[in-house]
Chains A and B, each alone.
Chain A
């Protein structure tokens, strides 16, 4: 099969993703330096908030969306063994998303969109920012459509057969993203763009926050699912073993998709515009969505144990030592799971209705999501890139040991940076400040932690540069060596037999999601149209 199109799509998307990533890493280091207050020449509030806004948009929206699209095209084509459906449409989606990024970048970099990547109104940015972000999302919807079409075309051509796990999970993510993005799309199209263009005088910030909360939780699962896909379909094979359970993996993906959606109000625990009952309902759902992650942890570790024992590991823990620690994918999954354990613990605190009050909007929160997103998730993006680059470019990875150094330094840097962040949060430091101006004894205890964060940031920046270097050198290096390998998906320990249709299809699950969303968001959204609410006009910043 000629899969050049899929490979070109994957490379193009991933280059956009990782270019955004490297720019955002430099901004991140600037931000820790600036906020420490130790370098007077760097101090600039307006540059700081322009930088934080850009860093957030590049990391959370550009890196993720482009990586997911590129990885998805290649996964679909290679796991189903068919070419990408309608490549012209796929390139059109790429162009729309990329033009959106460029359009949003202009106001972001010129300080006209310093509203942070959560753009909470009524603080309002230049309309081009919202329009650019919208185009990025529209481009990603094209990808979703192509994934869904390929999924159903394959099922039609292969009646009764089990859709490969990699494609099942990719399609699950595409459907998740369609559901997820609906909330923020409604907010941007019906509230923010009309307000920014002056077509509307006021908007209701309570409704805007509710719609944003619709998106705010499942979006992190949209980012996380590629990491989980690698856990299940690459790791077992790379570690030298088998996937412990294909069926459990499918169930985990389904529960992730279904239950990550109706739970966004744990971001609104501290908000006055939603009532207690709704918050508690979403709180229960938040704990249910921990289940698939616990199952994933079990299945992945069990798969690693199989690999370790096949490689001669003995005893209760001996298999850990006999794992191939020099294989980037295996090393990445170990480090990723370590960060997931600590990040997950922090997440349980956030999800807890009462405890959340202590850390809400403190430095704990960026500490948490850097650990779980930039740590757990992005380290798997690295591992996937190291695995796919030789296949996509037909050249061997420039250096395996450099890749290992890069993964270790990313883990170490992330640990150094996020630990003080968590401590600062417990000490009450608010997130999203550019300097500490409070004249209070308490705030003096914060200083030493800022210095640790600079160090962590430096290690991370070095690691990011090394990552970028490895990719560039692999693809454009002068080697004449040719890499001939193709992607290898892990085999399940037990062959998948008699799979029920609900684990091979999404029709039922879309209906379940529709009902759950109606229950958990129906009245909370409708209430704004029945109450006497008062709008807010647009504000600068």
Chain B
């Protein structure tokens, strides 16, 4: 069997390239906490409204006693509920997404907040948003003929401003929902 020495060298270079890429990915994943949703947590999608965690009153932004921010969102044809949320910039936020019907996906452009929302599972993903602004939350998996219309909004505002108006940020979900429905 004949393998040219030059080809052998190239195989070594190619192996080196792959090793480099894999090492970078591993370092990111294991030491820098890359947050692809991988929590393998099941939930009954047909009874989400009856579950305690995802009952309507508990949706949207919540702050735990230790200050951790969790956003609970329900995806259903054709919006993410609540339809509008406000988040502080430069702060770690944990999203918990569930679907009440079919397969959806959601991402916020220009950020790494992205996950599939598979019925029967809770998708948990962590992110933080360095820049304030208005970010759409877009459905990115075909879910039916209304798929184009499936989106909601997240406002990211200065951390201080958010802290100052914290109570309003948390309780405003219901009224803002109505406001956006009337748009």
Contact = CB atoms under 8 A, between A and B. Distances in A.
A108 to B, nearest CB: 15
Contact of A272 (B44, B110, B116, B139): B116
Contact of A295 (B11, B120, B139, B145): B11
A325 interface: no
B1 A206 contact: no
Nearest to B28: A354
A291 B114 contact: no
Contact of B2 (A360, A428, A497, A533): A497
B118 A206 contact: yes
B62 to A, nearest CB: 20
B65 interface: no
Interface in A434-450: 434-443
A274 interface: yes
B136 A440 contact: yes
A277 to B, nearest CB: 8
Interface string A201-227: 000111001000000000000000000
Given A432-B147, A437-B149, A295 B36 contact: no
Interface string A504-541: 00000000000000000000000100011111110111
A23 to B, nearest CB: 21
Majority-rule SS of B interface residues: mixed
A360 B39 contact: no
A270 B114 contact: yes
Given A294-B14, A295-B11, A541 B120 contact: no
A245 B2 contact: yes
Main secondary structure of the interface of A (DSSP, over half): loop
Interface in B110-168: 110, 112, 114-124, 134, 136, 138-149, 151, 153
A441 B39 contact: no
B179 interface: no
B63 interface: no
B139 A430 contact: yes
A237 interface: no
A455 interface: no
B7 A298 contact: yes
Given A272-B121, A295-B7, A353 B140 contact: no
Nearest to A290: B18
A180 interface: no
A299 interface: yes
B34 interface: yes
A442 B109 CA distance: 9
Contact of A531 (B25, B42, B146): B42
A142 to B, nearest CB: 32
A107 interface: no
A433 B146 CA distance: 9
Most B CB within 10 A of own CB, among A121, A291, A438? A438
A512 B36 CA distance: 30
A485 B4 CA distance: 33
Given A245-B7, A269-B36, A533-B42, A442 B136 contact: yes
A463 to B, nearest CB: 28
B112 A358 contact: yes
Interface residues of B, number: 68
Contacts of B140: 360-362, 430-432
Contact of B118 (A209, A269, A434, A438): A209
A361 B107 contact: yes
Interface stretch (A152-160, A278-286, A309-317, A389-397): A278-286
B116 A497 contact: no
Contacts of A116: 142
Given A272-B123, A302-B7, A532 B147 contact: no
A49 B146 CA distance: 11
B169 interface: no
A400 to B, nearest CB: 33
Most chain B CB atoms below 10 A, which of A204, A205, A247, A429: A205
A276 B1 contact: no
A308 B43 CA distance: 62
Nearest to A498: B1
B182 interface: no
A354 B134 CA distance: 23
Given A247-B3, A295-B10, A360-B114, A272 B122 contact: yes
B40 A273 contact: yes
B115 to A, nearest CB: 5
A466 interface: no
Contacts of B24: 352
B71 interface: no
A3 to B, nearest CB: 31
Given A123-B102, A539-B101, A534 B36 contact: no
A288 interface: yes
Given A269-B36, A272-B41, A432-B141, A536 B119 contact: yes
B10 A294 contact: yes
Contacts of A537: 46
Interface centre among A271, A283, A434, A531 (most CB of B within 10 A): A271
Contacts of A427: 109
Interface in A343-370: 348, 352-354, 356-358, 360-362
Q: Among the interface residues A348, A360, A362, which one has the most CB atoms of the partner chain B within 10 A?
A: A360
A437 B25 contact: no
A404 B120 CA distance: 52
B87 interface: no
Contacts of A430: 105, 107, 138-140
Given A272-B40, A275-B38, 16 more contacts: A45-B146, A114-B145, A204-B120, A206-B118, A279-B38, A283-B22, A287-B22, A298-B10, A354-B25, A356-B36, A361-B140, A430-B107, A438-B138, A438-B151, A440-B134, A500-B1
30 contacts: A123-B102, A206-B120, A209-B103, A244-B7, A248-B3, A272-B41, A272-B116, A272-B121, A273-B40, A274-B38, A279-B38, A287-B22, A295-B14, A302-B6, A353-B36, A357-B36, A357-B112, A361-B141, A362-B107, A428-B136, A433-B147, A442-B109, A443-B136, A497-B2, A499-B1, A534-B45, A534-B120, A536-B102, A536-B120, A539-B101
